[in-house]
Amino acid sequence: MRICVTSTGKEKDALTDRRFGRCVYFAIYDTETEEFTFVKNDGVNTAHGAGLAAAQKVIDEKADVVITGNLGPNAMKVLSASDIKVYQIMDGNIKDQIKYFKEGKLDTIDKPGPSHAGMGNRNRRGW
């Protein structure tokens, strides 16, 4: 199983990124090899559809699970169409999230958050 965590850096003790579409890196953990790979998210720099670009990347990386803070309606639609389960990030770094996941502590995200939430203005509630 491949677990994808949205990350701010490319180390396994890096901080998590609560944004999905505009996170900096995807940390992908393979449960068989027990190793991390880090993939840059090109969605950060796109003007529109960052969530979709990020979701495509996650699908291409053959992830089965995504752990993130919050993701928009479009990304949610794409991930569920590819049967990828989404879980809510808890406190701690990337490594911790994998541990929490294995312990079954993480909550699933079933409802998308507001769109455009990762675009800088935290007070904005979509548009």
| Shortest distance in whole angstroms from residue 50 CB to another protein | 7
Residue 8 lies near another protein (rule: CB under 8 A): no
The rounded distance, in Å, linking the Cα atoms of 15 and 38 is 13
Tell me whether strands 2-7 and 25-30 are parallel, antiparallel or unpaired.
Answer: antiparallel
The rounded distance, in Å, linking the Cα atoms of 36 and 114 is 30
Segment near another protein (CB under 8 A); pick from 5-13, 54-62, 87-95, 96-104: 54-62
Segment near another protein (CB under 8 A); pick from 9-17, 30-38, 55-63, 100-108: 55-63
| Shortest distance in whole angstroms from residue 99 CB to another protein | 28
Q: Which of 38, 49, 88, 90 binds another protein (CB under 8 A)?
A: 49
Question: Which residues face 85 on adjacent strands?
Answer: 65
Helix (H) or strand (E) holding 98: helix 94-102
Is 40 buried (19+), middle (13-18) or exposed (0-12) by CB count in 10 A? Answer: exposed
Residue 114 lies near another protein (rule: CB under 8 A): no
| Shortest distance in whole angstroms from residue 100 CB to another protein | 26
Q: Are 68 and 20 in contact (CB under 8 A)?
A: yes
Residue 106 lies near another protein (rule: CB under 8 A): no
Residue 117 lies near another protein (rule: CB under 8 A): no
Segment near another protein (CB under 8 A); pick from 51-59, 93-101, 106-114, 118-126: 51-59
